[in-house]
Chains A and B, each alone.
Chain A
């Protein structure tokens, strides 16, 4: 199969010419333009070419500053701001599904080039800024020996962590820097194959329930429909008993969940399917309806049938809900956080969305953090760039944003899993004195992880 590689590269160039030509359709908001499905001999693609930040920095709007508060993580993807201002960082990379086809071997090899070679940390790291000067001088491993932790949620004195195979619970007391005991398992989570391995997490407003986002086991059922039992769903888990039910289904990869302040409504960002064109299918932000079906695998954006899923299910297609707000195709929205007044007037009402960027587009989309303004509790208006500059003019990629978290003191915490950096964006009045020195938590392993890649 090695002989195919140069041809794959050549074909990528060829298909790039057709895929990237013309102006991009408008795909933001509730009624995105959806072209006809299309795929050439090769899917359109562009793999990020990683480079060190050097003197480059992400760009933020006027009146805001951005600093790196810590780096050297083992794939930092989601963060949680604790009540005392400490930041918990979930480090890890999961997956590792076996290759089913020659394609999986080649695609895994190609996609791995666009991600960090760092080893999976499998731990939670705590960052503390004791005097509030913006320098996070303390860095402690809060808990280790986890299994690709991703989603984080604090309910009272209980810290919930979603590993790639289980929902765990730690006891947490204010000011604590290290877990006092090994975690208690709340419930197992679907983990067979684990194509989309990330388990996103948020807690209901009253703390009784946890919502867990579970991604599909394939792009579009190519591993068989049996592999999709309990996948592409958002679970509602009873915090007391661990019992669960499917709260919503057909959500291909619900990579970030958040509860809207005030209403208690659950919102999600969902990553849609690949390989039917550079402008299909838009990833979306949506309020999640109890019992709702969102299309995958049978249809997208309501009733647009995807014939790749066989046998088809017209009854489910008819029931499929149109999402609230398109974010654009292949932006890979992996972070979601509701803003607050502490972020400044312009960015007070709305959500921040971390867009990791994806491979299935010749002209990269995403690779930034955007702000979706809300009015009366609903999205209102096009996305506003909030953090950009993750890709340089030279085609190099310095970072890829994942989780976004609003610190109620007035800061946006952005996890970047390519440069393995935690960024902090603050309104200028809260400008820190100096950029924190960057310290690796532990010596990093040098070897790459063969066969492991991020399926985005």
Chain B
């Protein structure tokens, strides 16, 4: 959406897209911290927290992915930072889905993979947000 301008002043990123790009990061991160807490305590409530946090993260990841997809369709040319942002969001969504399904296991069956999956997903989500927020804003078509 933002990167379509060929000339003129750079369009700022739409505030809603900025929100969607950033919103999943603290949720995935919260999932990771809850997983670590579960690993230390074996208290299942931490695993429940993790499951809800990463499920919430998927809502925002999904919406951001949809937004980026539309932005990609409108972008001229179609490669560059918009594509990179889309690919990173797609990766976040795929990893998040696996993480969510993994958290549907009962009790200690989620260990030790749960914090590893949540950690990788958090990292990719952070990258997607960083790329999206730092580049689309300027309409940079490098």
- The reply to whether the CB of A446 lies closer than 8 angstroms to some CB of chain B is no
Contact of A41 with B44 at beta-carbon distance under 8 Å, contacts A275-B105, A310-B108 already known = no
- The reply to whether the CB of A363 lies closer than 8 angstroms to some CB of chain B is no
Q: Per-residue 0/1 for B88-109: is the Cβ within 8 Å of any A Cβ (1 yes, 0 no)?
A: 0000000001101111111111
Looking at the complex, which one of B48, B51, B58, B107 makes contact with A308 (CB distance below 8 Å)?
B107
Q: Which of A19-27, A55-63, A217-225 contacts B (4 or more CB under 8 A)?
A: A217-225
Provide the bound-state CA to CA distance between A79 and B109, in Å: 38
User: Which residues of A are found within 8 Å of B102, using beta-carbon distances?
Assistant: 41
Contact of A220 with B100 at beta-carbon distance under 8 Å, contacts A310-B42, A311-B42 already known = no
User: Which residues of A are found within 8 Å of B106, using beta-carbon distances?
Assistant: 218-222, 275, 308
Q: Per-residue 0/1 for B42-53: is the Cβ within 8 Å of any A Cβ (1 yes, 0 no)?
A: 111101100110
Contact of A224 with B108 at beta-carbon distance under 8 Å, contacts A4-B100, A102-B52, A102-B100 already known = no
Give the distance to chain A from B123, nearest Cβ to Cβ, in Å.
21
User: Which residues of B are found within 8 Å of A220, using beta-carbon distances?
Assistant: 106-107, 109
User: Which residues of B are found within 8 Å of A224, using beta-carbon distances?
Assistant: 43-45
Are the C-beta atoms of A1 and B55 separated by less than 8 Å?
A: yes
Give the distance to chain B from A224, nearest Cβ to Cβ, in Å.
5
- The reply to whether the CB of A346 lies closer than 8 angstroms to some CB of chain B is no
- The reply to whether the CB of B62 lies closer than 8 angstroms to some CB of chain A is yes
Q: Per-residue 0/1 for A309-333: is the Cβ within 8 Å of any B Cβ (1 yes, 0 no)?
A: 1110000000000000000000000
- The reply to whether the CB of A42 lies closer than 8 angstroms to some CB of chain B is yes
| Nearest B residue (CB) for A102 | B55
User: Which residues of A are found within 8 Å of B51, using beta-carbon distances?
Assistant: 101-103
- The reply to whether the CB of A145 lies closer than 8 angstroms to some CB of chain B is no
Interface centre among A42, A103, A218 (most CB of B within 10 A): A103
Interface residues of A in 279-337 (CB under 8 A from B): 307-311
Are the C-beta atoms of B62 and A3 separated by less than 8 Å?
A: yes
| Nearest B residue (CB) for A224 | B44
Provide the bound-state CA to CA distance between A81 and B98, in Å: 51
Q: Per-residue 0/1 for A210-250: is the Cβ within 8 Å of any B Cβ (1 yes, 0 no)?
A: 00000000111111100000000000000000000000000
Interface SS, B side: helix
**Number of A-B residue pairs at CB separation under 8 A:** 66
Are the C-beta atoms of A4 and B108 separated by less than 8 Å?
A: no
User: Which residues of A are found within 8 Å of B62, using beta-carbon distances?
Assistant: 3
Provide the bound-state CA to CA distance between A223 and B47, in Å: 10
Interface residues of B in 31-71 (CB under 8 A from A): 42-45, 47-48, 51-52, 55, 58, 62
- The reply to whether the CB of A39 lies closer than 8 angstroms to some CB of chain B is yes
Looking at the complex, which one of A1, A42, A106, A222 makes contact with B107 (CB distance below 8 Å)?
A222
Looking at the complex, which one of B43, B48, B100 makes contact with A100 (CB distance below 8 Å)?
B48
| Nearest B residue (CB) for A106 | B104
- The reply to whether the CB of A11 lies closer than 8 angstroms to some CB of chain B is yes
Are the C-beta atoms of A221 and B104 separated by less than 8 Å?
A: no
Provide the bound-state CA to CA distance between A101 and B44, in Å: 11
User: Which residues of B are found within 8 Å of A100, using beta-carbon distances?
Assistant: 48
Give the distance to chain A from B108, nearest Cβ to Cβ, in Å.
4
- The reply to whether the CB of A7 lies closer than 8 angstroms to some CB of chain B is yes
Interface centre among B42, B44, B48, B58 (most CB of A within 10 A): B44
Give the distance to chain B from A384, nearest Cβ to Cβ, in Å.
34
Provide the bound-state CA to CA distance between A106 and B103, in Å: 13
| Apart from the given pairs A102-B104, A310-B108, 16 other A-B contacts in the complex at a CB distance below 8 Å | A1-B58, A3-B62, A4-B97, A7-B97, A39-B109, A101-B47, A101-B51, A101-B103, A103-B103, A218-B107, A220-B106, A221-B44, A222-B47, A275-B105, A307-B108, A309-B107
Shortest 6 CB-CB contacts between residues of A and residues of B: A103-B104, A310-B42, A222-B106, A102-B55, A222-B107, A308-B107
Q: Please, could you name 17 A-B residue pairs with CB atoms under 8 Å apart, sorted by A?
A: A1-B55, A3-B58, A4-B58, A4-B97, A39-B105, A41-B98, A41-B101, A42-B104, A100-B48, A101-B51, A101-B104, A219-B106, A221-B44, A221-B106, A222-B106, A222-B107, A310-B107
